[in-house]
A and B are shown apart, each in its own frame.
Chain A
Amino acid sequence: MKKKYLRWGAVAAAATVTSLMLASCGASAPSSSGKGSVKSIKVVIAEYSKDQTPKFWNAFKAKYEKQTGIKLNLQIIDWNDLDQQSSTMIQSGDVPDILNENAYASYAADGLLYNSDQVLPAATKADIIPAFVKSGTYKGKFYGMPDLSSARALFYNTDLFSKAGITAAPTTWDDFVADAKKVTALGGGDVGYAQPLGPEEAQAEFAIWLFNNGGDFKADGKWTLNSAANVKTLEFMKSLSVTDKVTQNNPGHTNRTDGAFSLFEQGKAGMVVGFSPLQGALDTQYKSVKYAIAPMPSGDGAAAQTYGVTDYLMSFKKTGNEAAVKAFYKLYYSPSEINTWIKAEGFLPVTQSGLKEFASNTSLKVYLDTLPNIHLTPTDDPEWDKIALTIKQNIGLAVAPNGDPKKFLDDLQAQAEAGK
């Protein structure tokens, strides 16, 4: 009997150990908070690119340390792991001083952040483009300091367009569908439009189409997720693959980077919604693809809307770190720093001084002109953080042949209202 139980115990232990080790990956970070210490600050930065991000931030670290005498502990984390790592840091009490993320409102809502009155020089705040100040403001205070921005536009393959006999980029959705059909008809595996609605970044794809059909996520402080314009937009997006058959195979299961973009980079897609880093890749790595950039086609006849994205550099309230954080922002927003980095990464400026500096770059003109009136997602509402996750995770199911766009948006609206 004894032996049996011993063996059984060993198996149980082995099973428990492996399961627990896996289960607790996220929960086993060392906790060490440097309370009261202003000798060093911890700065967590998202990795925008493998080469430029570390290059800029290491140089920045050296300058900051020389200027202030405060040690800057730099941690650069891949976008795919950032969310998990930052969550673990907060959970284990190892809070960074500065965190670079694509959302800030949930942190502000939990009362963890400094606002601009506490840590941002007034002149710096005045320099930031008002649209970004607005998107960084939660309950009247400016918490989400923008680090850089990007804007989306329609990229089209000019070789495929001329082969299909199309002379100009589409300006209406009807033109868009007609052009996409012509490119698809070329055969040989070419697709009219590469549509990424997989979980990576689907909320961006949805946003740009609905903004160009008179839709929005929120209006006058109320959620409008299932508005008539939004439902019509999503039904249109579904019809592209289901009835018109002008997209790549299975858009709801295609991610942006390794799916839609890679089709366009290989010259297989007539059109794709892109942004300046895609432009960078096309100009350096995929030079054989001839392309042009145009404003988005309009669904409701109104002027084209530009969908923009900004990420944030937020700072956490910790005893005695206020001055160090302030010095960080002061240095970061000096034109020689922020604009150098934005240029290197191929993104767009967030400051008025940056706009002026970038104005000479003709290839960015398409975006720069629209930047002051850029249309952003409601990142100032903490509830949006969850809405965006639901869109990413589930919109792919709504655009499947048996999907129901209206029901998806109704559920989304219910989720948003319940969160209030």
Chain B
Amino acid sequence: MASVTPGPVAVTRRSRRRRRAPGTASLLEALLWLAPALVLILGVVVYPAITLVATSFNKYSIIGLRLGPAGFTNYVNFLTSPDLLQVVWNTVVWVALVVILTILISLALAQFLSKEFWGRRVVRWAVIVPWASALVISSQLFRLMFDYYHGIINQALITVGIIHRPIDWLGDSHYTMPSMIAVGVFVSIPFTAYLFVAGLNAIPTDVYEAARIDGSSAWQTYRQITLPLLRPAILIGVVLNMIYVFNSFPINWILNGSNPGFGNDTLITYMYKLAFKSAQHDVGESAAAGIFNVFIILIAVGIYLRFVNWREAEKK
């Protein structure tokens, strides 16, 4: 694009004279500095990725012993498994609802948190707590709270008189997904809300002053100034949350832990069950599922970015 800076050109010209200008390094030097990061990336990302791809093209016995090459059998088995459609649908519902609800609630919460009020510091700390605690622990706590017999949620609702008999939040298929979504939103809000607080703080106050002088109403100001200027933050919030929520494992695993079948699984927990819990008990098929998942999330993010017209947002 047009935004090519003259910087690099000038540097190369000068470096011809002095071998090297201050601020540039030889390839060897650069590699030396980058080595720790590169080793980490190779070991933690590239090597497992290669292993994953290799695993997906091999046949394994139930105990994990490699029996030989499998071609595309694992992919065919995965893509033709009768539960896949339900699992994909669950994943779509899970990701879409958690992300949408998180964004809406976080927008409201960010407005609130960016106002001056007594005790704001305490409230800000309180909002961050769900993010700071480990997901497994939060999920386990929610499992106890949702419990049919001893859960505090049922007790509270019965005491207040909203319901008359306990609800099986995690076992009744009408409530399982909504309960998991509620927890998903709860743990996603802190990050998103803080992203929006930062976004709000970055909006210059004179724009608001100008709007006030022009007699704009509060809602008009929000619609026509705050939201457009917050757009980059919203964009990032949606993309990161999509990836994060899609890949979330502990919530579904723990809250759905005592339910039979695959009726409430997302692609991620389904992938795990394929490898270790289902009758297939097949790491090869599970690896194929893993590759499929990577493509799904890439496609989903791609569609979203196209939909919101990424380049337009970049210009602003």
Interface size on B, residues (CB 8 A): 64
User: Are B47's CB and A28's CB within 8 A?
Assistant: yes
The 4 closest A-B pairs by CB, nearest first: A396-B260, A23-B290, A253-B171, A87-B64
Q: Which A residues are in CB contact (< 8 Å) with B240? A: 14
Q: Which B residues are in CB contact (< 8 Å) with A198? A: 258-260
Instruction: Name B284's closest neighbour in chain A (CB-CB).
Output: A91
Please tell me if B228 contacts chain A, counting CB pairs below 8 Å. Answer: no
* Chain B proximity of A231: nearest CB distance (Å): 19
Q: Tell me the residues in window 135-177 of chain B with beta carbons closer than 8 Å to chain A beta carbons.
A: 148-149, 166, 168, 170-172
User: Are A21's CB and B48's CB within 8 A?
Assistant: yes
Q: Which A residues are in CB contact (< 8 Å) with B168? A: 249-250, 253
Please tell me if B18 contacts chain A, counting CB pairs below 8 Å. Answer: no
Please tell me if A77 contacts chain B, counting CB pairs below 8 Å. Answer: no
Q: Tell me the residues in window 73-100 of chain A with beta carbons closer than 8 Å to chain B beta carbons.
A: 83-84, 86-91
User: Are B310's CB and A8's CB within 8 A?
Assistant: yes
User: Are A88's CB and B243's CB within 8 A?
Assistant: no
User: How would you classify the secondary structure of chain B's contact residues: helix, strand, loop or mixed?
Assistant: helix
Instruction: Kindly state the separation between the CA atoms of A91 and B3 in the bound complex, as whole angstroms.
Output: 50
* Chain B proximity of A378: nearest CB distance (Å): 15
User: Are B239's CB and A11's CB within 8 A?
Assistant: yes
Q: Which B residues are in CB contact (< 8 Å) with A250? A: 148, 168, 171-172
User: Are B305's CB and A268's CB within 8 A?
Assistant: no
Please name 19 further chain A to chain B contacts, defined as beta carbons within 8 Å, in addition to the given A1-B1, A107-B63, A112-B65, sorted by A numbering: A4-B310, A8-B310, A11-B305, A18-B243, A19-B294, A20-B49, A24-B290, A27-B51, A27-B52, A27-B283, A189-B149, A249-B148, A249-B166, A255-B258, A263-B149, A386-B279, A389-B278, A393-B273, A394-B261
Instruction: Kindly state the separation between the CA atoms of A397 and B261 in the bound complex, as whole angstroms.
Output: 7
Q: Which A residues are in CB contact (< 8 Å) with B166? A: 249
Instruction: Kindly state the separation between the CA atoms of A1 and B2 in the bound complex, as whole angstroms.
Output: 9
User: Are A23's CB and B291's CB within 8 A?
Assistant: yes
User: Are A382's CB and B60's CB within 8 A?
Assistant: no
User: Are B45's CB and A21's CB within 8 A?
Assistant: yes
Please tell me if A139 contacts chain B, counting CB pairs below 8 Å. Answer: no
Please tell me if B179 contacts chain A, counting CB pairs below 8 Å. Answer: no
User: Are B275's CB and A86's CB within 8 A?
Assistant: no
Q: Which B residues are in CB contact (< 8 Å) with A382? A: 62
Please tell me if B281 contacts chain A, counting CB pairs below 8 Å. Answer: yes
Interface residues in chain B, defined as those with a beta carbon under 8 Å from any beta carbon in chain A = 1, 3, 44-45, 47-49, 51-52, 55, 60-66, 148-149, 166, 168, 170-172, 239-240, 243-244, 246-247, 249, 257-263, 268, 271-273, 275-279, 281, 283, 286-287, 289-291, 293-294, 297-298, 301-302, 305, 310-311, 314
User: How would you classify the secondary structure of chain A's contact residues: helix, strand, loop or mixed?
Assistant: helix
User: Are B287's CB and A27's CB within 8 A?
Assistant: yes
Q: Tell me the residues in window 1-38 of chain A with beta carbons closer than 8 Å to chain B beta carbons.
A: 1-4, 7-8, 11-12, 14-24, 26-28
Please tell me if A390 contacts chain B, counting CB pairs below 8 Å. Answer: yes
Q: Which A residues are in CB contact (< 8 Å) with B258? A: 198-200, 253-255, 258-259
User: Are A24's CB and B48's CB within 8 A?
Assistant: yes
Instruction: Name B257's closest neighbour in chain A (CB-CB).
Output: A255
Q: Which A residues are in CB contact (< 8 Å) with B302? A: 12
Partner pick for B268 among A11, A22, A396, CB 8 A cutoff: A22
Instruction: Name A14's closest neighbour in chain B (CB-CB).
Output: B243
Q: Which A residues are in CB contact (< 8 Å) with B262? A: 393
Instruction: Name A95's closest neighbour in chain B (CB-CB).
Output: B65
Partner pick for B261 among A22, A385, A396, CB 8 A cutoff: A396
Q: Tell me the residues in window 393-416 of chain A with beta carbons closer than 8 Å to chain B beta carbons.
A: 393-397, 415
Given contacts A250-B171, A253-B170, A393-B277, contact A20 B244 (CB under 8 A): no
User: Are B48's CB and A91's CB within 8 A?
Assistant: no
User: Are A91's CB and B65's CB within 8 A?
Assistant: yes
Q: Which A residues are in CB contact (< 8 Å) with B3? A: 3
User: Are A84's CB and B276's CB within 8 A?
Assistant: yes
User: Are A16's CB and B257's CB within 8 A?
Assistant: no
User: Are B149's CB and A390's CB within 8 A?
Assistant: no
User: Are B278's CB and A91's CB within 8 A?
Assistant: no
User: Are B260's CB and A252's CB within 8 A?
Assistant: yes
User: Are B297's CB and A15's CB within 8 A?
Assistant: yes
